């Protein structure tokens, strides 16, 4: 029983590995298919596409995904003719290849999720493939003998000689899979020919040296047997012949190859595996070598620190300080090595979007082209996985809401084909991902009218254009006139913001009516560790991300100016708004100075500068980032938390939130100042007191 369970777990693990490989192969396949050009045929590109489809087909056959195998086989036959110049790569052929890639990806997704494939799914594309392969009308992907051979109703004996070519393994084929398929047809005996096996010193692990002789007793027809070998028919010498078995003789039984049953019994009963397949990351070997080297350096440093107390006549304190410094440096480099192992290029996300743009633009009758840049920018693997859904939502919205119909674009003097630019760049400790389109932009008037009708804002609200743009992220908000398969249900942008916030990111919107929109997602380079400045405010400890700090200073009294709504500091010809953190977070306690003693000037990703007023700079160091969203509701102004060396918790500041809260407070205070002047002129002191009482706790409530 344990052996059967182990075999089942092994199969699940292999199946999961197959789909992991498909997840890597399909985006690259889609990207290569999109670059097929009838005017500049790239032989290497065609070979890479063929290898990808062949690899998927071979893996699908191992797990009996018949629909996937059938379609991949036809697609592969088409690509084979293109590679051999038996078929010319025209624009129409390239279009069929692209649509074949889409069908292949859908079949892989259905196989992975275990969902039923609709009747006739992909049949129209496969028919086009067959027509291109064989214009006369005979299906080329199905052997003629298979189509015409009669089914054998009685048991028959077959002798099969299978001699793989040396390059069999390089074409993603495996003899063991063939043996398993033959085993399903009936009673099988296997003899292995080892005469071609070279000496160990000259053996190439990527070449096939063994030959096989099979004796099969089955009701299967010749066509059924040939179908087992259809994936390797170009990579082997194959002879299939029927024979009448002779009476048994007293001879030595032939050596047997590994069959599923014997393989299962040969396994150790103690080799229990986890039911859930592990998650893998492909890592550059150079990064692993660097990690191993750093572990060795740590061992040496630890040995030095251990030996020092036993040494006599040396300056023990100086050696310990030196050893501690070396240990800190090694730990930092070790952390960088480990972080590098988790990094993956943004290409793994970007490559998936070509198919989305193609399918959605065709469905909506629009012409859209996706352009990507910076796809080599590396991002933490955890963040990469969380980016897929938000980027998908934003691109769908851009095509559905932002991009105009071709005739409307022409009337507006724009090219008929719209362009969506998806880019990634690294800035300081953050990754910036931008989705930019040249569509109609956000109609601020329409958005505001829709928000008023839904009761999201008051009819007399005085909102800036930036604040109106923010309304598209409100739950349940949609400007679509009708609900369609693509949009109109009010589910999307609020989910986008929530998903991005869950990984410590934020999103900025910029739009010009008639010219297009851009959405910039700012996410941390990694979720694990960040460099920060440790500060104190009235006894409370906070962490300011180091990448956002411009400078810190002790201001002169003459640099501080009071204006309507708050204080500003004058630095090198520039006025910067001051934000008192003790007021923002309602921290009790008194400061020794009546004016700001320390100001940390920070700059956000959108270029906004602010001066954070603190009491003390404790020091700069690395902090382990802990997300609070899993156990608490999001707190405005707080990105997360970290545990200090003394075991206490310090909050990590979200500078974007802090500046937004301060801006809102400044706007309210400025309005209050204007109201105050009007009230004083009218002698309405009681109204001033009432307005002040209602405005004062707003910031504290938000914090």
Cβ contact 344:378 at 8 Å? yes
What is 565-598 written as a DSSP string? TEEEEEETTEEEEEEEHHHHTT-----S-SS-SE
* C-alpha Rg value of the chain to the nearest Å: 34
State how far the Cα of 184 lies from the Cα of 51, in Å rounded to an integer: 28
Residue 263: per-residue pLDDT: 34
State how far the Cα of 397 lies from the Cα of 399, in Å rounded to an integer: 5
Cα angle 570, 574, 580 (rounded to 5 degrees) comes to 50
Residue with tokens 């480099």: 333
Residue 404: per-residue pLDDT: 93
3-state helix, strand, coil split of the chain in percent (to 5) is 45, 20, 35
State how far the Cα of 448 lies from the Cα of 454, in Å rounded to an integer: 10
Cβ contact 351:27 at 8 Å? yes
Residue 516, sorted as left (phi over 0), alpha (psi -120 to 50) or beta, turns out to be: left
Q: What's the pTM value of the predicted model, to 2 decimals?
A: 0.57
Residue 145: per-residue pLDDT: 35
State how far the Cα of 139 lies from the Cα of 147, in Å rounded to an integer: 10
Residue 254: per-residue pLDDT: 41
State how far the Cα of 370 lies from the Cα of 445, in Å rounded to an integer: 29
Residue 261: per-residue pLDDT: 40
Q: Which residues pair with 129 in a beta bridge?
A: none
Residue 417: per-residue pLDDT: 92
What is 78-109 written as a DSSP string? HHHHHHTTSS---HHHHHHHHHHHHHHHHHHH
Please tell us whether the domain made up of 529-663 is placed in CATH 1.25.40.10.
Answer: no
Residue 680: per-residue pLDDT: 40
Q: Which of 195, 204, 259, 208 is nearest to 237 (CA)?
A: 208
Tell me which fold the domain 2-142 belongs to: 1.20.120
Cα angle 305, 307, 313 (rounded to 5 degrees) comes to 105
The CATH class that applies to domain 148-247+254-261 reads: alpha beta
Q: CATH: 3.30.70.1450, 3.30.40.10, 3.40.50.720, 3.30.565.10. Which one for 346-524?
A: 3.30.565.10
Low-confidence ranges of the chain (pLDDT < 50): 138-153, 248-278, 488-491, 672-703
- Per DSSP bridges, beta strands 609-614 and 236-243 are unpaired
Tokens of 471: 């309304």
Residue 276: per-residue pLDDT: 40
């Amino acid at each position: 029983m344990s052996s059967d369970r182990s075999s089942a777990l092994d199969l699940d693990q292999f199946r999961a590995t197959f789909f992991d490989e498909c997840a890597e192969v399909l985006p690259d396949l889609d990207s290569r298919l999109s670059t097929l050009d009838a005017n500049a045929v790239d032989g290497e590109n065609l070979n890479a596409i063929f290898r990808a489809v062949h690899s998927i087909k071979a893996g699908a056959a191992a797990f009996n995904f018949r629909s996937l195998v059938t379609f991949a086989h036809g697609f592969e036959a088409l690509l084979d003719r293109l590679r051999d110049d038996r078929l010319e790569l025209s624009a129409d052929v390239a279009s069929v290849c692209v649509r074949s890639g889409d069908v292949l990806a859908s079949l892989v997704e259905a196989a992975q999720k275990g969902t039923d494939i609709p009747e006739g799914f992909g049949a129209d594309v496969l028919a086009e493939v067959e027509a291109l392969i064989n214009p006369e009308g005979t299906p080329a992907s199905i052997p003629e003998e298979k189509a015409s051979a009669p089914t054998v109703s009685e048991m028959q004996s077959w002798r099969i000689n299978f001699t793989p070519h040396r390059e069999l393994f390089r074409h993603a084929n495996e003899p063991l899979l063939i043996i398993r398929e033959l085993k399903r047809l009936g009673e099988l005996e296997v003899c292995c020919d080892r005469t071609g096996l070279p000496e160990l010193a000259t053996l190439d692990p990527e070449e096939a040296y063994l030959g096989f002789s099979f004796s099969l007793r089955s009701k299967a027809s010749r066509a059924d047997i040939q179908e087992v070998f259809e994936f390797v028919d170009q990579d082997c010498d194959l002879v299939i012949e029927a024979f009448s078995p002779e009476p048994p003789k007293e001879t030595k039984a032939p050596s047997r190859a590994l069959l599923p049953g014997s393989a299962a019994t040969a396994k150790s009963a103690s080799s229990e595996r986890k039911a859930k397949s592990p998650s893998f990351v492909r890592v550059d070997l150079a990064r692993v070598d660097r990690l191993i080297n750093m572990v060795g350096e740590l061992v040496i440093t630890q040995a030095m620190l251990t030996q020092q107390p036993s040494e006599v006549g040396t300056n023990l304190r100086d050696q310990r300080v030196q050893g501690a410094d070396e240990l800190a440096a090694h730990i930092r480099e070790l952390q960088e090595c480990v972080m590098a192992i988790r990094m993956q290029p943004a290409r793994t996300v970007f490559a998936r979007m070509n198919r989305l743009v193609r399918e959605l633009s065709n469905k909506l009758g629009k012409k859209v082209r996706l352009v990507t840049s910076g796809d080599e920018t590396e991002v933490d693997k955890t963040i990469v996985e969380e980016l897929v859904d938000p980027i998908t939502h934003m691109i769908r919205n851009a095509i559905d809401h932002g991009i105009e119909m071709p005739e409307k674009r022409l009337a507006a003097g724009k090219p008929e084909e719209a362009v969506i630019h998806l880019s990634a760049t690294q800035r300081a400790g953050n990754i910036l991902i931008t989705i930019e389109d040249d569509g109609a932009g956000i109609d601020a008037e329409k958005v505001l009218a829709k928000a008023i009708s839904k009761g999201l804002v008051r009819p007399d609200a005085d909102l800036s254009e930036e604040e109106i743009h923010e309304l598209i992220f409100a739950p349940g908000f949609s400007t679509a006139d009708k609900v369609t398969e693509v949009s109109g249900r009010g589910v999307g942008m609020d989910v986008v913001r929530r998903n991005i916030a869950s990984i410590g990111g934020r999103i900025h919107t910029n739009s010009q009516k008639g010219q297009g929109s851009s959405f910039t997602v700012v996410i941390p380079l990694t979720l694990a560790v960040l460099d920060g400045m440790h500060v104190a405010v009235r006894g409370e400890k906070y962490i300011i991300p180091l990448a956002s700090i411009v400078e810190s200073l002790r201001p002169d009294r003459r640099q501080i100016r009071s204006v309507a709504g708050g204080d500003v500091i004058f630095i090198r010809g520039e006025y910067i708004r001051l934000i008192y953190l003790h007021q923002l977070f309602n921290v009790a306690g008194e400061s020794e100075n009546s004016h700001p003693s320390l100001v940390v000037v920070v700059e956000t990703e959108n270029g906004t500068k602010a001066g954070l007023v603190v009491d003390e700079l404790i020091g700069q160091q690395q902090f382990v980032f802990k997300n609070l969203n899993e156990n608490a509701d999001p707190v405005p102004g707080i990105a997360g938390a970290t545990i200090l060396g003394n075991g206490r918790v310090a909050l990590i500041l979200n500078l974007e939130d802090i500046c937004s809260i301060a801006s809102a407070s400044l706007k309210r205070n400025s309005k209050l100042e204007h109201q105050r002047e009007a009230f004083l002129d009218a002698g309405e002191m009681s109204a001033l007191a009432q307005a002040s009482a209602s405005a004062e706790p707003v910031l504290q409530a938000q914090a």
